[in-house]
Structure 1
Amino acid sequence: MTQPDFDADLPAAIGEALTEFLRDASESIGRTEPAFTGATDALREFVLGGGKRLRPTFSWWAWRGAGGAASGDEAAGVLHAVSSLELIQACALIHDDVLDSSDSRRGSPTVHVAFASEHARGGWLGSAEQYGLAAAVLIGDLALAWADDMFADAPLPADVLRRARPAWRAMRSEVLAGQYLDVRTQATGDASVDAALRIDLLKTAAYTVQRPLHLGAALAGAGDDVIDPLLSFGGDIGVAFQLRDDLLGVFGDPGVTGKPAGDDLREGKRTLLVALGLQHAGAGSAAASVIDSALGDAHLTDATVERVREVLTDVGAVAEVERRIETLTDSALAALDTAGLADPAPKRLTELAVKATQRSH
């Protein structure tokens, strides 16, 4: 029997691995508690209904670049292991939407909004909003638990999984630390550049690029001579990716981003874009007042969003973020060149880096 070449259509292979795992996991708990199928169905739809599969893709190409094969039993096991990263992502997104009070994700109602609507339609007891929030927290927790299960159950030798666990553990802790810092920064009103960059490094760079790369390389048995430059590459590209996302959060097309224009402003996000805008505008200036008054205003109008866009552009914050993205991308690619990865991994990782940081994605 011919072994599949996972390089040929990696997103499809990741989707198949997730479909199989989620089906089996859902059926298992469904036999024990049929009422839970509403939650498991929601998680399956969320995971399989969209997403760029960036994390497992970065991880896969680190595995390949560090000497892993494109096909075979071990490659299938690695694909299973790295696909579990999509469940970590599902947990983070579902919980982020709760933390940010977001109404939509990928053009559809967020999980907590969908479950609140179910409560309201059914005329159930208690608060529909509270029910939706509780359901989303639990479904996000389920995604995290199943991520651990999927990773641990990967058909790989115990020593292979063992050498990748430090990366796995670090990633889970770092993304939660980043989420906490994000919440804390909004609460304290810390709009400093340093605070914004720290959140970007932990919440996005570490778990989107750095640790997936670390995970894939560790599964292949790579040493520090490969892992260290990959961590440098991942840190810079991850921050650049977040800076692009920050720009899209204010200037992006809702048809592309799947979220209303200006949602980051309504949620009070102290992004680097905002921090630089306030810094360049100067404390107490009219321009700073326009930015500051918009942050956290849930009823922000499109006209006000447009005014904030103009101010951020006029004071030079947008141009500086674009410069930082370009500088970070260049330094990341320079680090990648020193990792000594096998072909075609350098080319594929370069393509991923460019795609993640381009002006629309």
Structure 2
Amino acid sequence: MLGDDGTVHPAPRTHTVDESVPAHVEQTLTEYLAAKQSTMASLTPELADALDSLVEFVLRGGKRIRPTFAWWGWRGAGGDPDAHAVLRAVSGLELIQACALVHDDLMDASAVRRGRPTVHVTFEALHRERGWLGSADRFGMAAAILLGDIALAWADDMFYSSGLTANRLAAASEPWQAMRSEMLAGQYLDILTQVEGDESPEAALRVARMKTAAYTVERPLQMGATLAGADPELVEQLREFGADIGVAFQLRDDLLGVFGDTEVTGKPAGDDLREGKRTLLVALGLRRATPAGADVLRSCLGRDLTAADVQRAREVLVESGAVAEVERRIDSLTSSAMRALAAADLAEPASDRLAELAVAATRRTR
């Protein structure tokens, strides 16, 4: 919160982090971003629009899944429930996520995120509204690239200035650095798969593992457990759990990208089809559908679609058995993850909370 002298002070916390990890992450991010915004805005007033947009984007209703998994990795390995330096460190994962989303929306030409215009669309509109020179599209694209980069830089700043001891920072640096590289490499693999037109389920699963599973669940769990000094066996068990839940999370996302309710997901129905994404759902549909059904799916990939087009694609995916197979794989991955979790010797209540998170991540509607 803001003091009378203009300094940002941490707001008092009356509950332990365990009681509501996402709420504590939200509060921590709000405090941190206010301080960063104040510092950068003091450089020149022209940064105000950009910084306002980035901060609003970060704080706009995310589920805070990554820091929550990291926190329970920390707690499961015996970490202190009131370790606010750890909370600040893992909250930085949301800024890595912001970088990924801003850039992903640009690469996919998505117009809407969480029910609001995406960053590049917002800055295209700002360019037109103010009558600036040059191309509005190119300005929007450039702004999104740079704001995503700022989010990634702020993530590093938040992690390294979190107040962790040097030993803990050193221990967590390996998963922290790995998850950034894997996330960016996974995004490249995603666009490469699209332009190559690779329709194999194997390619879709490679993208799911690298782009989503590693930095959404597996690496955050590793980061939290490593911060607490977990032994290698426990870290490996948590990573096994996290890898399977992370892929299942992405497969649920693939289903929502085609069948989700726009009012709930905040994105237009069928957006993954419009973007030409060869998800596992689409890959299985193409492999299992009749030749006519496969033609319908291919005709829907990478082009603007009407509601009727989306409905035809949905029918092919259901009739081909692709939807049922993706659901079966989600169930199988969740079951194998739960076995890994059961084998792990975790401090309570981490085991129960991680099991609840696994179900929430793989059965969600948005």
> If the length of structure 2 is used for normalisation, what is the TM-score?
0.95
Aligned to 1:248: 256
Q: 1:164 to 1:359 in 2, by over 3 A?
A: closer
Aligned length: 355
* Pairing 1:257–2:268 present: no
Query: What amino acid does structure 2 have at the position aligned with 1:256?
Result: V
Q: Distance in 1 between the 2:22 and 2:364 partners?
A: 22
Q: How does 1:101-116 map to 2 (within 5 A)?
A: 101-116=109-124
Give the Å deviation of 1:52.
Answer: 0.1
Q: Secondary structure of 1:32's partner?
A: coil
Give the Å deviation of 1:207.
Answer: 0.4
Q: Structure 2, unaligned stretches of length 5 or more?
A: 1-11
Aligned to 1:94: 102
From 262, 281, 301, the counterpart of 1:295 = 301
C-alpha root-mean-square deviation of aligned residues, in Å?
1.2
* Pairing 1:273–2:281 present: yes
Structure 1 range deviating more: 75-84 or 6-15 = 6-15
From 121, 138, 143, the counterpart of 1:135 = 143
Aligned to 2:350: 345
Q: Distance in 2 between the 1:134 and 1:334 partners?
A: 46
Give the Å deviation of 1:33.
Answer: 2.0
Q: 1:359 to 1:23 in 2, by over 3 A?
A: closer
Give the Å deviation of 1:10.
Answer: 1.6
Q: Distance in 1 between the 2:266 and 2:231 partners?
A: 40
From 318, 321, 330, the counterpart of 1:316 = 321
Aligned to 1:30: 41
Q: Distance in 1 between the 2:364 and 2:152 partners?
A: 31
Q: Distance in 2 between the 1:267 and 1:3 partners?
A: 45
Query: What amino acid does structure 2 have at the position aligned with 1:258?
Result: G
From 325, 332, 340, the counterpart of 1:327 = 332
Query: What amino acid does structure 2 have at the position aligned with 1:32?
Result: L
From 289, 292, 298, the counterpart of 1:286 = 292
Superimposed CA distance per residue, residues 221-263 of structure 1 (whole angstroms, 9 cap, x where no aligned partner): 1121111011110110000010000000000100111100000
Aligned to 1:18: 29
Q: Percent identity?
A: 61
Q: How does 1:109-258 map to 2 (within 5 A)?
A: 109-258=117-266
* Pairing 1:305–2:313 present: no
Q: Secondary structure of 2:42's partner?
A: helix
Give the Å deviation of 1:3.
Answer: 7.3
Give the Å deviation of 1:30.
Answer: 1.1
Q: Structure 1, unaligned stretches of length 5 or more?
A: none
Q: Distance in 2 between the 1:220 and 1:310 partners?
A: 48
* Pairing 1:58–2:69 present: yes
Q: Distance in 1 between the 2:27 and 2:320 partners?
A: 47
Q: Secondary structure of 1:7's partner?
A: helix
Q: 1:119 to 1:109 in 2, by over 3 A?
A: same
From 337, 343, 363, the counterpart of 1:358 = 363
Aligned to 1:5: 16
From 81, 96, 99, the counterpart of 1:70 = 81
Q: Distance in 2 between the 1:329 and 1:146 partners?
A: 33
Query: What amino acid does structure 1 have at the position aligned with 2:332?
Result: T
Q: Distance in 1 between the 2:27 and 2:37 partners?
A: 15
